[in-house]
Amino acid sequence: MLKKVIHAMYNDEETLMDAARVLKNNGVRVKEVYSPFPIHGIDPIIGVKRTRLAIASFMYATTGTLLALFGMWYFMIHDWPMNIGGKPNFTLLENLPAFVPITFEFSVLCAAHGMAITYFIRNKTLPGMPASNPDPRTTDDMFVMEVTSDQNHDHSAEELEAMLKDSGIVEISVKDYQ
Amino acid sequence: MQKEAAIREPLILGDKSYKDITDDVVGPIEGAAPKAWKLLITITSIIAIYGVGCITYLIATGIGVWGLNKTVGWAWDITNFVWWVGIGHAGTLISAVLLLFRQKWRMAINRSAEAMTIFAVIMAAVFPGIHMGRIWVSYWVLPLPNQFGSLWVNFNSPLLWDVFAISTYFSVSLVFWYIGLVPDFATIRDRMVKPLPKKIYSILSFGWSGRAKNWTRFEEVSLVLAGIATPLVFSVHSIVSMDFATSVIPGWHTTIFPPYFVSGAVFSGFAMVLTLLLIMRKTMNLENYIHVRHVEYMNIVIIVTGSIVGVAYLTELFISWYSGVEYESYAFINRFSGPYSWAYWIMMTCNVITPQLFWVRKIRRNLIATFVLSIVVNIGMWFERYVIIVTSIHRDYDPSSWGEFHATFIDLGIFIGTIGIFGTLFLLFARFFPVLALNELKSILKSSGENYKKLHHKDH
């Protein structure tokens, strides 16, 4: 069977939300929504799960904390202990207050950069990546909903197209794809 | 959709649509450079080149070309460092702290304020670099194996904390800024017609396509980065203040320093944001996005932080007397009546007295008055650092070694030069980058745009 991808374009995010809700109630799966800014409340309608980036960030932060503490213990206490201004370095616990600033800074450094790198990789947005939005206007003032026939076997492509045409669109395009 | 009270002043004036926002911000990038921009960048570049010349001369000759002497071993270099770092703080405060408080007015100013932060921190980093004297061994501040240079670096020293704080602050601010820029670069990419700019913006935009999941992640990353940037911004200037506070110099050895420095930093940072934005909104026709209400909000921050700084000055004076330590109290008596009293009184006037004018609604909503006062605050905050640093050390415990600091031509040249470099970077930003956060502005258009507010008002 020939697969079809339908791009329905809206000029208002609320119209798109309403349309997505109607589609969902009719058992249609929306594959993707492209928008120039985040549409609040669209995620549960089109079935986008909550991101786990914050958890990842916490793990990076913990790694940073441990690395910083281990490093400072090694440099200042284990490898070359020094008596600086009458404040000798003998145990990690005694020295901990002086290690707080760098432990904090290093944790933040790891959390922020770890999360940023994860974010770019998970989004597949990296330098040199090609853009994949269906229409250049979706980064300006248009909102596009993408519905594919192979995700919606209960409805024919024509039915899907008719449903979308009825939902306050500005433009619609139907394409075949492999 | 989020609704907002009708009586609340709109943040976006005029009859704007999503398309208009894009046109207003991206339009200037597509067109030819305006004459005023060319003129300004010529001036700033000349100043920048002069500054680079002074820095080169300094590095080639040694820090003896500064006005430092045995008694005053730290003066303009570190004053400028603290001044620039302080200016940087407003950007992160606007983008991170105000994001956590869900302040919508930040969306018109955060992009340029963050750019200002990044450029200001770069300028700040110049000073510790060049005041080392031997800049070619500056990698010794990193914890490298001890065979490599000297011993391990001292992790108990606030100067090393500073290295970590500034580098973390700089790189995290840069990443935060860039993550916000990516979707806006995509907007420019999709509009550009000329092949070369299109190619460049295409690379810069990392192939951003604005999928629903991408936006979910975008919002999560912004929120978490704001959450960790908030303690970071407070920690950075606290650590800068500890460079002084952990020493045993009367006038520096005070526990009030961290909060006092942080509020001073926010104070000067907002002043610099105002100076830059008031020019930018005019020359780039952004009056509908950055208007009197935004200026008023920033002026309120200036009153609050300026008053905190004022209270800190008075507390310092009181405690120096109340402590009963004669060296401590002399340090402060010397500040306001000694050879540097002129600097002290400039500081007091510019930071404590004149910003109080903003209590008057007419003044804080007047753009010219704001512009003048913002420059006054910047001058005052420079003198604050100068007063703290120089007056505390120029008369130490031993009167036979008392001395004074006199700035040289090179001191002045490097400082002015960094302003030139900063200005050049900011002008380049204003020319080629989206100066307003397009995606964020579009997301508040319906709740805070003038036309939409009127529309909702009619409904009721």
Q: Tell me how far apart the alpha carbons of residues B220 and B186 are, in angstroms, rounded to a whole number.
A: 19
Mean pLDDT, rounded, for B182-187: 91
B148 has a pLDDT exceeding 70 = no
- Flag if A51 and B216 touch (Cβ within 8 Å): yes
Higher pLDDT, B314 or B455: B314
B146 has a pLDDT exceeding 70 = no
Q: Which segments of B323-436 does DSSP mark as H helices, in order?
A: 326-337, 341-348, 361-364, 367-386, 392-393, 409-432
Nearest neighbour of B154 by CB, restricted to A40, A84, A116: A84
Mean pLDDT, rounded, for A26-39: 86
Nearest neighbour of A119 by CB, restricted to B217, B231, B232: B217
CA A25 to chain centre: 26
Closest CA to B294 of B364, B357, B232: B364
The reported pLDDT for the residue numbered A1 is: 56
Give how far Cα A44 sits from Cα of A1, A154, A163, A172, B94, Å.
30, 21, 20, 24, 30
Q: In chain B, which residues have their Cβ closer than 8 Å to the Cβ of A103? A: none
CA B263, B267, B270, B276 torsion: positive or negative?
A: negative
- Flag if B209 and A40 touch (Cβ within 8 Å): no
- Flag if A108 and B165 touch (Cβ within 8 Å): no
Our CA-based measurement puts residue B154 at a distance from the nearest CA of chain A, in whole angstroms, of: 8
Q: In chain A, which residues have their Cβ closer than 8 Å to the Cβ of B156? A: 76, 84, 87, 89, 95, 98
Is the ipTM reported for this complex over the cut 0.95?
Answer: no
The reported pLDDT for the residue numbered B421 is: 95
Q: In chain A, which residues have their Cβ closer than 8 Å to the Cβ of B1? A: 14, 40
The reported pLDDT for the residue numbered B210 is: 86
Parallel/antiparallel/unpaired status of strands A32-34 and A171-177:
unpaired
Closest CA to B180 of A54, A37, A129, A58: A37
- Residue type for position B191: R
Question: Strands across the sheet with A143-148, in order?
Answer: A32-34, A143-148, A3-10, A171-177
Nearest C-alpha in B relative to A143: B210
Q: Tell me how far apart the alpha carbons of residues B215 and B201 are, in angstroms, rounded to a whole number.
A: 20
Our CA-based measurement puts residue B218 at a distance from the nearest CA of chain A, in whole angstroms, of: 8
- Flag if B208 and A124 touch (Cβ within 8 Å): no
Q: In chain B, which residues have their Cβ closer than 8 Å to the Cβ of A124? A: 207
B2 has a pLDDT exceeding 80 = no
The reported pLDDT for the residue numbered B182 is: 92
Q: Tell me how far apart the alpha carbons of residues B364 and B359 are, in angstroms, rounded to a whole number.
A: 7
Write out pLDDT tens, residues B197-217: 888 888 998 988 888 888 999
Which residues, other chains included, contact B342 with Cβ-Cβ below 8 Å and sequence gap of 6+?
Answer: none
Write out pLDDT tens, residues B411-441: 999 999 999 999 999 999 988 898 888 888 8
B7 has a pLDDT exceeding 80 = no
Our CA-based measurement puts residue A34 at a distance from the nearest CA of chain B, in whole angstroms, of: 5
The reported pLDDT for the residue numbered B458 is: 61
Mutate to test the interface with B, among A30, A78, A106, A119 (most CBs of B within 10 A): A119
- Flag if A36 and B438 touch (Cβ within 8 Å): yes
CA A75 to chain centre: 38
The reported pLDDT for the residue numbered B415 is: 93
- Count of A–B CB contacts within 8 Å? 202
Lowest mean pLDDT among A43-52, A95-104, B356-365: A43-52
CB distance B332 to B251 below 8 Å: yes
Tokens 């009127």 belong to residue = B454
Q: In chain A, which residues have their Cβ closer than 8 Å to the Cβ of B158? A: 101
Nearest C-alpha in A relative to B151: A80
Our CA-based measurement puts residue B182 at a distance from the nearest CA of chain A, in whole angstroms, of: 9
In DSSP terms, A148 is beta-bridged to: A5
Q: Tell me how far apart the alpha carbons of residues A35 and A42 are, in angstroms, rounded to a whole number.
A: 11
Nearest neighbour of B161 by CB, restricted to A57, A101, A138: A101
State the pLDDT confidence band at B235, using cuts at 50, 70 and 90: very high
Write out pLDDT tens, residues B341-399: 999 999 999 999 999 999 999 998 999 999 999 999 999 999 999 999 999 888 888 88
Closest CA to B77 of B69, B86, B68, B90: B68
CA B132, B133, B135, B137 torsion: positive or negative?
A: negative
State the pLDDT confidence band at B459, using cuts at 50, 70 and 90: low
Q: What are residue A130's phi and psi, to 5 degrees?
A: -80, 150
Which residues, other chains included, contact A16 with Cβ-Cβ below 8 Å and sequence gap of 6+?
Answer: A10, A33, A35, A39, A42, A143, A145
Mutate to test the interface with A, among B215, B233, B253, B456 (most CBs of A within 10 A): B215
What's the token pair of residue B248?
């045993």
Give how far Cα A26 sits from Cα of A52, A158, A162, B121, Å.
30, 15, 13, 55
The reported pLDDT for the residue numbered B232 is: 92
Mean pLDDT, rounded, for B148-156: 74
The DSSP H or E segment spanning B199 is helix B195-204
Write out pLDDT tens, residues B62-90: 888 988 888 888 888 889 999 999 998 88
B195 has a pLDDT exceeding 80 = yes
Closest CA to A145 of A131, A164, A132: A164
Nearest C-alpha in A relative to B157: A98
A81 has a pLDDT exceeding 70 = yes
Mean pLDDT, rounded, for A71-91: 80
pLDDT over 70 for what percent of chain B?
97
The reported pLDDT for the residue numbered B416 is: 94
Nearest neighbour of B443 by CB, restricted to A38, A80, A108: A38
Write out pLDDT tens, residues A113-160: 999 999 999 888 888 888 888 888 888 888 888 888 777 777 777 777
Mutate to test the interface with A, among B190, B239, B438 (most CBs of A within 10 A): B190
- Flag if A38 and B215 touch (Cβ within 8 Å): yes
In DSSP terms, A146 is beta-bridged to: A7, A32
The reported pLDDT for the residue numbered B420 is: 95
Mean pLDDT, rounded, for B108-137: 89
State the pLDDT confidence band at B300, using cuts at 50, 70 and 90: very high
Closest CA to A136 of B200, B186, B197: B186
- Flag if A131 and B217 touch (Cβ within 8 Å): no
The DSSP H or E segment spanning B299 is helix B292-322
Mutate to test the interface with B, among A125, A132, A145, A147 (most CBs of B within 10 A): A125
The reported pLDDT for the residue numbered B318 is: 93
Q: In chain A, which residues have their Cβ closer than 8 Å to the Cβ of B99? A: none
- Flag if B220 and A53 touch (Cβ within 8 Å): yes
What's the token pair of residue B454?
């009127």
- Flag if A37 and B219 touch (Cβ within 8 Å): no
- Cα atoms found within 13 Å of the Cα of residue B123, Cβ hemisphere only: 30
Our CA-based measurement puts residue B14 at a distance from the nearest CA of chain A, in whole angstroms, of: 17
Q: Which residue segments constitute the domains of chain B, with CATH numbers given? A: 18-141+156-447 (1.20.1630.10)
Write out pLDDT tens, residues B23-48: 888 888 888 888 888 999 999 999 99
Mean pLDDT, chain B, integer: 88
The reported pLDDT for the residue numbered B248 is: 86
